[in-house]
């Protein structure tokens, strides 16, 4: 549905986007991650046809955005980064305008406005002027505009920015639900969001894609992925370390804490998430008769992966 090929964007001598390629199929929700200034927004602007690329091309539903911009833009709904809207209009007026721009008139327009205002919880503010609204409402007004023509492709630049936790949750649900039969690309800084609603995530840094995979694939790249943490009490730290190090599947073992509570982390000898290591450790705990209150296998943390990928110099100290 969306194909991005070797996309390059230069601003003067600065390369903001440097050879980005990926494809997204219908039914996928693609999370776009990266530090500030990594080129996320620039890439999205090129996908939506706002910015012409310096090199490379973007196909939306088979239409080259540079050559057939109108056909491509018809398929797209776009929420720009700052969620802009016209402050002098009412929410209803603004949505009505957006509908008309999308070629919706008469009953179709009325239906579309009703549908998106329910989806984005705008029913109570339809007659209010946009400049009297709080940030959350303004944000959702712009989101509603992106959904007005029920587009096949949604490009959302930080869709949950500035929303309160409840609203964030609602918007994530919305993205997840719509993602079943659309293509959604959204950018975010919030890593839980990627786990909550993406089927795939791309991490972009300094204009290049540095990781591309499902959230669990990405998490598996974390150093902590597959490690087992254990918390026992009433045993000396060194004893715990000694016993755990003897487990066949165990690699490095770290412990901290005193006799009251010992936190141990056991790294697997070969990195793979399986219950094997945790099982072996559970047997040790049972044999020794330690009392414990925590034992679990880490899936890995996206923020570790994110940090280690996007800040190669300092990642080690954080892990």
Partner 1 sequence: MNDSLRHVWTIAKRELGGYFNSPVAYVFIVIFLLLNGFFTFMLGYYFERGQASLAEPFFSWHPWLYLFLVPAVGMRLWAEERRSGTLELLLTMPIEPWQAIVAKFLASWIFLGIALALTFPVVITTAYLGDPDVGTVFSGYLGSFLLAGAYLGVTEMMSALTRNQIIAFIISVVAGSFIIHCGREPVTNLMNGWAPERLVDLVKSFSTWYHFLAFQRGVVDIRDLLYFGSVIGFSLFTTSVVLRGVRGA
Q: Which stretch binds partner 1 (CB under 8 A): 91-99, 172-180, 213-221, 232-240?
A: 91-99
Q: Which residues make Cβ contacts (< 8 Å) with residue 6, sequence separation at least 6?
A: 19, 20, 21, 55, 56, 57
State the angle between helix axes of 135-147 and 165-178 in degrees (0 to 180), rounded to the nearest 10.
Answer: 10
Identity of the residue, 103 or 318, whose beta carbon is nearer to partner 1 in the bound complex: 103
Q: How far is the CB of 100 from partner 1 (least distance, A)?
A: 5
The HSE-up count of residue 123 (CA atoms within 13 Å, CB side) is 5
Applying CB under 8 A, the span of 26-34, 92-100, 194-202, 305-313 interacting with partner 1 comes to 92-100
| Contact call for residue 319 and partner 1 (CB under 8 A) | no
* 95: its two tokens: 């949505």
- The alpha carbon of residue 14 and the mean position of all alpha carbons in its chain are separated, in whole angstroms, by 26
Q: Residue 48: CA atoms inside 13 Å, Cβ hemisphere, count?
A: 22
Q: In whole angstroms, give the CA distance from residue 160 to residue 170.
A: 9
Which stretch of DSSP H or E encloses residue 64?
A: strand 63-64
Tokens of 13: 């001598």
Q: Please state the closest distance from residue 276 (CB atom) to partner 1, in A.
A: 51
Asked if residue 86 binds partner 1 (CB under 8 A), the reply is yes
Q: Is 82 in the site for partner 1 (CB under 8 A)?
A: yes
Figure out which of the listed residues 13, 14, 36, 70 binds partner 1, where binding follows CB under 8 A: 70
SS3 259: coil
3-state secondary structure of 44: helix
Asked if 297 touches partner 1 (CB under 8 A), the answer is no
Closest to partner 1 by CB, 148 or 280: 148
Residue 300 corresponds to which tokens in the numbers above? Answer: 């890995």
Q: Which stretch binds partner 1 (CB under 8 A): 31-39, 74-82, 215-223, 238-246?
A: 74-82
Judged by CB under 8 A, the residue of 103, 234, 242, 275 near partner 1 is 103
For residue 52, state whether it binds partner 1 (rule: CB under 8 A): yes
Choices 45-53, 179-187, 266-274, 306-314; region in contact with partner 1 by CB under 8 A: 45-53
> What is the pattern of x (binds partner 1, CB under 8 A) and - over residues 248-287?
----------------------------------------
């Amino acid at each position: 549905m969306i194909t991005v090929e070797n996309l390059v964007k230069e601003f003067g001598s600065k390369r903001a986007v440097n050879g980005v390629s990926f494809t997204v199929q219908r039914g996928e929700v693609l999370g776009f991650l990266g530090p500030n200034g990594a080129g996320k927004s620039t890439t999205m602007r090129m996908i939506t046809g706002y910015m012409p690329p310096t090199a490379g091309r973007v196909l939306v539903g088979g239409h080259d955005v540079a050559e057939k911009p109108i056909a491509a833009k018809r398929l797209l709904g776009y929420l720009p980064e700052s969620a802009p809207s016209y402050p002098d209009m009412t929410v209803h007026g603004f949505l009505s305008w957006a509908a008309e721009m999308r070629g919706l008139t008469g009953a179709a327009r009325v239906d579309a406005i009703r549908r998106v205002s329910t989806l984005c919880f705008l029913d109570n503010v339809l007659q209010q002027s946009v400049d009297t609204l709080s940030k959350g409402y303004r944000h959702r007004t712009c989101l509603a505009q992106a959904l007005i023509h029920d587009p096949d492709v949604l490009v959302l630049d930080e869709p949950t920015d500035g929303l309160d936790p409840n609203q964030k949750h609602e918007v994530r649900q919305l993205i997840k639900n719509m993602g079943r039969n659309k293509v959604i690309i959204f950018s975010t800084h919030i890593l839980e969001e990627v786990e909550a609603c993406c089927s795939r995530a791309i991490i972009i840094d300094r204009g290049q894609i540095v990781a591309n995979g499902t959230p669990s694939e990405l998490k598996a790249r974390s150093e902590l992925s597959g490690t087992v943490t254990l918390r026992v009490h009433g045993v000396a730290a060194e004893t715990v370390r000694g016993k755990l190090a003897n487990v066949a599947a165990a690699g490095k073992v770290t412990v901290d804490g005193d006799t009251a509570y010992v936190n141990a982390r056991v790294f697997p000898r070969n990195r793979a998430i399986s219950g094997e290591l945790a099982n072996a450790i559970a047997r040790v705990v049972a044999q020794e008769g330690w009392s414990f209150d925590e034992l679990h296998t880490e899936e890995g943390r996206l923020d570790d992966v994110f940090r280690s990928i996007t800040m190669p110099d300092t990642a080690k100290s954080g892990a």
